[in-house]
Chain A
Amino acid sequence: MSGRSGFWTQALAIAKRDLLIESRGGEVFGVVLPFAAVAVFVVPLATDALATRLDQLAYPVYWLVGLLFGLQVALRQTGTETMIQRRTLALLGIDPAARFAGRSLAAALLMTGVMVAIAPLIVLFYDPRAIPAIGPSLLAVVGFAIGLSMLSTLAGDVTVGLRTRSSLAPLIVAPISVPLLIGASQTFESLILDRSTMAPALLLTVTVLSLAVTGVLTAPALEDATT
């Protein structure tokens, strides 16, 4: 890969590398996804079937599982770069912003896959009162996945090489991801209630764009800090 290649060429090459590692290791779809399915299944078991209305829990459980297991996808062991890998990429002249974009893109694709896969389980086990229109809902899920993957990539990079990384990165991501969660879940709610989705969709879009700008602008400093 030449240092003179374009931003998107580098970003796509990094994303392709991450997806290739995932296809070989199968951590997301072989481990994280089944674990997420178990989590979806455990909630009805842990609640009193006579006293709890599961249909009301459907979407909160969906977004909660999406957030927690989305974090697992973004911070997966097989997707973690070692210091040597990071230094090699830096020496090869890879644009740190392209690295951030590529890693976020790969994580967003995997995260969207997990969230799409658990959606039928939510419908099956929880029988929600209404299902929002598929097209706009998918857009909300994709927006959420892109935002969470960028945030997790940033947090993963900030904590790379630390002994407490596995607990510290989620501690950083979870509170900051709230605007994403509100934007995406309120979009669903608005679609179900047939209200305007403008405000939540705008919140989601602005948050995703802010994270993209922050990620690109801080990428060189972050590379300097962690190589």
Chain B
Amino acid sequence: MTKRMVLPTLSAAAIAYALWLALDSSPDVFQGDFVRIMYVHVPSSWLAFLAFGVTALGSALWLWRKTIVWDRIAEASAEIGVIFTALAILTGAIWGEPVWGTYWDWGDARMASTALMLFVYLGYLALRRATPDPVARAKRSSILGLIAVVQVPLVYFSVSFWRTLHQGMTVRPDGIQMDGSMVAALLGGLAAFTLLYLALMVERVRLARIEDANTLSDGVAAGTAITAPDLDGIS
């Protein structure tokens, strides 16, 4: 196995193990088997927060050090964060219909703020797509990356600020109000998704490096195509 395949293989194995933990855990007294969706939904949400936090950190470090790798990390993390946010919204809606009786409730603070967070980072990615120059793109998006991260605490604490449909925090500093097998499934899911995040990050940053190298080599190719005229033999 090549070195490049270590993280993807580990994350695939971890996902398989997390899936087994999720299917083997006890059903919930009220939710029944639907609780198993939570072992995908909750880790997706946590990884989205982590991904957007890394985007902000990468943005701040780019502004400080002006090293392009930080911009690549910020971009990669934002893209992966958007995927995890979409997955959290989708699994939440699938779970919500049988348990709450609705796929979506605009009056719920957590749902609405999560959707808005998704739009903010879609805007971040749209800004990056609209700026062709890599340095200008890094400068502009790093500032937006820092501003956009304010959505993360807003989404996280929304269940405490507003008492709406979404339940409060289950994992709190004073303990976890869950059965042991459920905690194992939740932590297993979190570990598996974290490995998946790292594997995707490494690949996306590598891809960004290739894209940048391509952009630069395009410039060189165009430059060498225009050379001084050969005047040998012309009198």
Question: For B63, what are the chain A residues with a Cβ–Cβ distance below 8 Å?
Answer: 221
How far is A172 from B147 in the complex, measured between Cα atoms in Å? Answer: 10
Inter-chain CA distance A221–B215, complex, in Å, is: 25
Not counting A158-B143, A175-B123, A178-B116, a sample of 8 additional A-B residue pairs whose C-beta atoms are within 8 angstroms of each other reads A159-B127, A162-B131, A171-B122, A171-B123, A174-B119, A176-B147, A218-B143, A221-B142
Contact (A158, B144) CB under 8 Å given A175-B116, A178-B113, A178-B116: yes
| Contact status B131-A221, CB under 8 Å | no
Residues of B within 8 A of A158 (CB): 127, 140, 143-144
Which residues of chain A are within 8 angstroms of B91 by Cβ–Cβ distance? none
User: Which residue of the partner chain A has the closest CB to B162?
Assistant: A182
Query: Given A154-B147, A171-B123, are A224 and B130 also a contact pair (CB < 8 Å)?
Result: no
Q: B150 contacts A175, CB within 8 Å? A: no
B126-A164 in contact (CB<8A): yes
Measured between beta carbons, the chain A residues less than 8 angstroms from B86 are: none
B136 touches A168 (CB 8 A): no
How many angstroms between the C-alpha atoms of A137 and B61 in the bound complex?
41
B side interface size, CB within 8 A? 25
Q: State in angstroms the CA–CA spacing of A225 and B151 once bound together.
A: 24
Inter-chain contact B140/A225, CB cutoff 8 Å: yes
Find chain B residues with CB under 8 A from A154 CB. 143, 147
For the complex, is B69 an interface residue (Cβ under 8 Å from A)? no
- Chain B residue, CB-CB nearest to A223: B139
Tell me if B152 is interfacial: C-beta within 8 Å of chain A: no
Which residues on the A side are within 8 Å of B208 (C-beta)? Answer: none
- Which of B120, B147, B150, B154 has the most CB atoms of chain A within a 10 A radius of its CB? B147
Contact B123 A172, beta carbon cutoff 8 Å:
yes
Per-residue CB proximity of A151-174 to B under 8 Å, as 1/0? 000100011001110001001101
A23 contacts chain B at the CB level, 8 A cutoff: no
Given A224-B139, A225-B140, do A214 and B147 touch, yes or no (CB 8 Å)? yes
A221 CA to B136 CA, complexed, in Å: 11
Query: Within the assembled complex, what's the spacing in Å between the Cα atoms of A193 and B63?
Result: 46
What residues on A are CB-neighbors of B124 within 8 Å?
A: 172
Q: Interface SS of chain A: helix, strand, loop or mixed? A: helix
Q: Does B148 contact A (CB under 8 A)?
A: yes
Asked whether any CB of chain A lies closer than 8 Å to the CB of B191, the reply is no
CA distance A226 to B140 in the complex (A): 8
| Minimum CB–CB distance for B217 against chain A, Å | 25
Given contacts A171-B123, A224-B139, A225-B143, contact A162 B130 (CB under 8 A): yes
Chain B residues with CB under 8 A of A168? 123, 126-127, 130
Report how far A226 CA is from B136 CA in the complex, Å.
7
Instruction: Tell yes or no: A13 within 8 A of B by CB.
Output: no
* A179 contacts the other chain (CB 8 A): yes
CB-based contact B120/A175 at 8 Å: yes
Distance from A27 Cβ to chain B, minimum over Cβ atoms (Å): 24
Q: How far is the CB of A149 from chain B (nearest CB, A)?
A: 15
Question: Which listed residue, A164, A176, A218, A222, touches B120 by the CB 8 Å rule?
Answer: A176
Q: Which residues of chain B come closer than 8 Å to A77, judged between CB atoms? A: none
Asked if A171 and B119 make an inter-chain contact with CB atoms under 8 angstroms apart, the answer reads yes
- A171, A178, A226: which contacts B126 (Cβ < 8 A)? A171
Contacts of A222 in B (CB 8 A): 139-140, 143
B130, A176: Cβ atoms closer than 8 Å: no
A210 CB-CB contact with B under 8 Å: yes
B146 at the interface (CB under 8 A from A): yes
Also in contact, A221 and B116, with CB within 8 A (given A168-B130, A172-B127, A172-B144): no
The answer to whether A176 and B151 have CB atoms under 8 Å apart is yes
